[in-house]
Structure 1
Amino acid sequence: MNDDAGALDPELISFRSAAASVLMSVDFTAATLTALRHRVQAAVRGAGLAGDEGYEFVLAVHELATNAVRHGGGHGHLELRRQDDVLICEISDHGAATGSLPVRLPAADVVGGRGLWLAHQLSEGLLLTRGPHGVTATVTACLNPAER
């Protein structure tokens, strides 16, 4: 085993790179969720993701932003980037990142608890990162869905 066996290439584990362009970076609260959704929708459409794919990505982002408000301290931060032909949206909050982060469909008789599951279903990918200051949820969408 060599010395680099445990090292991870930062480019492989990060969605950030010099080629990524920030389309939007904004703090939000419960009072601004509707306006945030409209801004995300305009930015996503402007980036070239329209139709059902655009609608589903915006809905995934909205679910995650709502979760940040409900479970993450009442506010959060959203950053939407474009890297090549991929949209990347990170939603961060300052919630007490304890317990599990269920990305499964709860029983039909359970009220709520579907936000992460919906975000996962409606996007190309969902990554949840728990840190000392809260949780970051990252969703992605391919701008050329027919070429997946």
Structure 2
Amino acid sequence: MTYRSRLGEGGPARPGPANAGQEVLLHRCFTESSVTSLRHAVSAAVSAAGLSVELAEDFVMALHELVTNAVRHGGGTGTLELRQQADVLTCEIVDHGGPADGLPVRLSPTDLPGGRGLWLAHQLTGSLMLTQRPDGVTASVSACVTASPAVPSPATTTDAVTGPSPSEDT
């Protein structure tokens, strides 16, 4: 079990079965004034973890939306913890607020102005999980370090200028 922090401030990982085999890459409390520096720290951490450039950009943008959401709607402060277990990065953003109307947290419809942070985080990661607690909300997203876009097989590609590739029978 590894519970060390490679980047950032804050305490060690919470020991326990939920964190078994996970390494904390970044643990930081944030406020509105630290959102930009947190984004830079997250970007460095996911890059160092080996996330591809395209996936890293989406993951960092999703986390930025969740952090901004926590500042605006979650009491103005929160905590971000980025962990890695094997080839999966998981990030939790915890705040201590919630919706003013007392209704459950939900993704906003895309036909209304504003309120798209949660929706965007889900679109960028495909893995948004929201947990509403009595004292706030935890938003979790994850990304696979080894994920890569599908690449067509050389045997089935065709060059638009020269015709079939040399590996194809003609």
Post-superposition offset of 1:100: 2.9
Unmatched segments (≥5 aa) in structure 1: 1-14
Higher mean displacement: 91-100 or 18-27: 91-100
1:136: which partner in 2? Answer: 138
Paired residues, number: 133
Q: CA RMSD in A?
A: 2.0
Is 1:106 aligned to residue 110 of structure 2? yes
Post-superposition offset of 1:101: 2.0
SS in 1 for 2:47: helix
**Aligned counterparts, 1:18-37, within 5 A:** 18-37=20-39
Counterpart residue type for residue 67 of structure 1: N
1:44: which partner in 2? Answer: 46
Counterpart residue type for residue 103 of structure 1: L
Higher relative contact order (CA 8 A, sep 6+): 1
TM-score (norm 1): 0.83
Match of 1:70 among 52, 72, 78: 72
**Bigger radius of gyration among the two:** 2
Provide Cα deviations, 1:61-91, integer angstroms capped at 9, x if missing partner. Answer: 0000000000000010000000111000000
1:115: which partner in 2? Answer: 117
Post-superposition offset of 1:104: 4.5
8 Å CA contact 1:91–1:136 kept in 2: the answer is yes
Post-superposition offset of 1:147: 8.4
Counterpart residue type for residue 99 of structure 1: L
Structure 1 runs (4+) deviating above 6 angstroms are: none
Post-superposition offset of 1:17: 2.9
8 Å CA contact 1:71–1:95 kept in 2: the answer is yes
Unmatched segments (≥5 aa) in structure 2: 1-16, 151-170
